[in-house]
Structure 1
Amino acid sequence: MVETDNAESHVDNNADITISCVTMGNSRASDYGLVTIDGRGRIVQFSEKPKGADLKAMQTDTTLLGLSPQEALKSPYIASMEVYIFKTEVLLKLLRWRFPASNDFGSEIIPAAVEEHDVQVPKSECYDPKTPFYPSPRHLPPTKIDKCRIKAALISHGCFLRECTVQHLVIGECSRLDSGVELQGTVMLGTDYYQTETEIASLPADGNDVIIANKDGVEEADRPDEGFYIRSGITIIAEKATIKNGTVI
């Protein structure tokens, strides 16, 4: 699956939403959200895990996605891979105003969006068995949080947060925030290895009393030697970076 190709298709077609899809045979089609499309790849119907007659009604011409007539007979369904590309304004409208109480794209938001927006499928298979796309389970322990103040944050697993304040940010896996740290409007990319509390205790004490809030409103900056970048006003902590004690960004 090549998401860059799908992104290019999304831009070229000026679509409101693009859904990565894969053609599917009869045996597994009912396990997926299915779509039917018109001649230019626009989705005209979406059905979440249909059965019986509803399933049969979702058969569509999959030659439009590049299959041969023989292949299309074997795979007459188009299944959503639940990978979505949105225009920003469309996504905000759907989440903030149209469906503020919804919890699921596949069963709630996307079926209604098909009726109101230009929702398209890239005109090629989004799955290539020669270059499969695998999920990457980390099997990490849950994040440990001790005496922290957290607001509107997405925190990955395998992290240690102690006596810190975080607001409006994303914290990548295996990150460590120590006493006195204040983060706001920040993305931490985390690291790709896990350290136990014993291993952390043996390291030099970096990362205390750090404040990252971009109070000066800097829009763009490159500070790789210091472990961070700023893009569109958002501070991005580089992968595996260590921010030294007392740093203010």
Structure 2
Amino acid sequence: DRRADITIAAQPVGIEDASAMGIFRFDRGGQIVAFEEKPKRDRLDEIGRSIPAGATFAGHTPDRPFMASMGIYVFSRDVLVDLLSGDGGTDFGKEIIPCALGRYRVNSYLFRGYWADVGTIASFYDANVMLTQPGAPFTFYDPRRPIYTHPRFLPAARFADCAIRGAIVAEGCYLDRCTVEQSIVGIRTNVQNGSTIRRSVLLGADFYEADDDATVRGEHPRLGIGREVVLDRVIVDKNARIGDGARLVNERGVDEADGDGYYIRNGVVIVPKDGVIRAGTHV
């Protein structure tokens, strides 16, 4: 209804997040008058507080004075063709949107629902673990806003004498005499007996592995989480193998490190896709 050529979905953020996002300033009519992608902290004051004095809306608090792009854009077709065919570049945040200001009417749309930027390890981890908390701001189980995924035709998850507290466990998993707390357990995950998983995100596996598979007979641990393993604040990517007795808890409390089969970023231990953690490894 404002006849915008370009509309950018947006939410307010605090100063601690602003430098990782596209920040803009708009006038009281919602038209964007300045935009900068991932400005350095010392640039934020120059860009200015994004929200006009007196403006109020859902999600706006005094400690969230900067308006951030959600990376969702709606273009008029002719405007998009013109911008892409010119010399304005191809990166939306760094080139196209700044180039469009002054040439076209660029407006903001204030999104009032839940949204989280997951562009860093810390934000990805926090957004996932948050889903396991009581009273989380987002849930998969709201009948008014159902979330669908493609069918995989896997059996239901099976638990054999386990202690599960505040966890989301996907289909096709087999958990044997283990403890899972405040964690996400992805499809086809196999957790063997005596293991403890706390505040972790396991992305699961793309396939099942038979006991007589060649990789099992070899030196690698079997697919999934072995016996007597402890995971705390860990992201385990798909098809990873974690051997018996491994302990991944960031014992030294470091913020960043690289190790044999793992990384630490933002204090979170990461086992990459197809990664292998040898039996008895302590991190």
Q: What's the TM-score once normalised by structure 1's chain length?
A: 0.45
Question: Larger % of helix: which?
Answer: 1
